[in-house]
A = this chain, B = another copy of it.
Amino acid sequence: MNKADLIFAAGENSADILYASGFQAPDPFIYFSCLQEHAVIVSALEQDRAERECKTNITIFGRNEFSKDDKASDLDVICSLAQSREISEFRVPHDFPLGLADDLRKRGLAVRAEKGVFYPERQYKSEGEISLIEAAQRVAETGMRRGIGIIREASVNNDRILEWNGNILSSEILQAEINIAMLRLGGFADATIAACGGQAAEPHNTGSGPVYAGKPLIMDIFPRMKKSGYWGDITRTIVKGGAPEIVRKAYEAVFEAREYAKTLIRPGAVPAEIHQAAKELMERHGFRTGRQDGRNFGFFHGLGHSVGLAIHEKPPLCPVNSEPLRGGEVVTVEPGLYYPEWGGVRLEDIVVVTPDGCRCLTAMENILEIE
């Protein structure tokens, strides 16, 4: 009896099945790998598209090759696959659907969820993958330039609110214009952050309502390229019409922390220590981290995450990751400082870990103040 890898997911939702097959189908399909065979099983509707998109080492089967019945369930198809390949045990990703796993077990098949990363090699990018991430990053930068360009074009009214194109400039308009600029290049983003003032003090607040002069505006832009499936990610913070002293100081601390962290990134370096070093540098600038009245302040998220076929991949650059870097990881470096009183500052580049350090994949300047 044989063991096999099994994934059941939509290519658009599962980086693992996309990594293994290259196929971006919107509906869930079956991928398996057994001995020397790597294959997908798709519906008749998807067979032509699978032929075009799948990696060259992948065999493409229609469901009817495993079940004569057009109405066969996924369970039936997988059981028939197991029988034909003499498979007794499937290794599946941690997020494999429980209902399907339980049904397979009832049919006498062992199903073992992988505890950790399903494809550890997915953490270490090939040259081809790095090029695709760089292409996505160029698109993210185009979005950022559009956002900054609008802030530059905007005027400031008597209430210190920005106006653009004859209207109050809102976070929503900024997000839409940024997303549109990227859409024209094949990049899709649906959670672009453009958060100003107090909203910028919450790292996950995407921002809404008017954009103000004199307050920090965080723009965090992460498009997914429709064709390749790879992501880009960039964050800049700007202030229209003169930044308060505290924002200028925070910006300096965050910028220095990011640049210093980059000098520490190399094979053998420990992510938790890099995170800690960035945090301590910002503390030396006078920016403490803590919690008051049920709200966090200071630097209270991880320094970075890996980027590839998912926007948040392993390994992270975070306080609990003590696994040394190996080389080939593509990680964001994005320190930030957040205080309810004045808002927040975050600056994010992405780098690839090289044999002797890291190479920055972001090619965009950092400017705080815009007239």
Q: Which interface residue of A48, A99, A100, A300 has the most chain B CB atoms within 10 A?
A: A99
Please determine whether B183 and A44 come into contact, CB atoms closer than 8 angstroms.
Answer: no
Please determine whether B97 and A45 come into contact, CB atoms closer than 8 angstroms.
Answer: no
**A9 to B, closest residue via Cβ:** B95
- Interface size, chain A (Cβ < 8 Å): 49
Tell me which residues across on chain B come within 8 A of A202, comparing CB atoms. Answer: 45, 48-49
Say yes or no for A1: interface residue by CB 8 A criterion. Answer: no
Say yes or no for A94: interface residue by CB 8 A criterion. Answer: yes
A window 47-65: CB within 8 A of B: 47-49
Cα–Cα, bound, A93→B98 (Å): 8
Stretch at the interface among A109-117, A132-140, A143-151: A109-117
Tell me which residues across on chain B come within 8 A of A93, comparing CB atoms. Answer: 99
Report the 9 A-B pairs with minimum CB-CB distance, sorted nearest first.
A94-B99, A99-B113, A95-B97, A96-B98, A98-B113, A98-B101, A188-B190, A98-B98, A180-B180
A residues near B (Cβ < 8 Å) are 12-13, 25-27, 44-49, 71, 92-102, 111, 113-115, 172, 176, 179-180, 183-184, 186, 188, 190-191, 202-205, 226, 294-296, 300-301, 312, 320
Besides the known contacts A45-B296, A95-B99, A172-B186, 14 further A-B residue pairs in the complex with CB atoms under 8 A apart: A26-B191, A27-B312, A46-B204, A49-B202, A71-B320, A94-B97, A94-B99, A97-B113, A98-B98, A99-B113, A176-B183, A176-B184, A180-B180, A180-B184
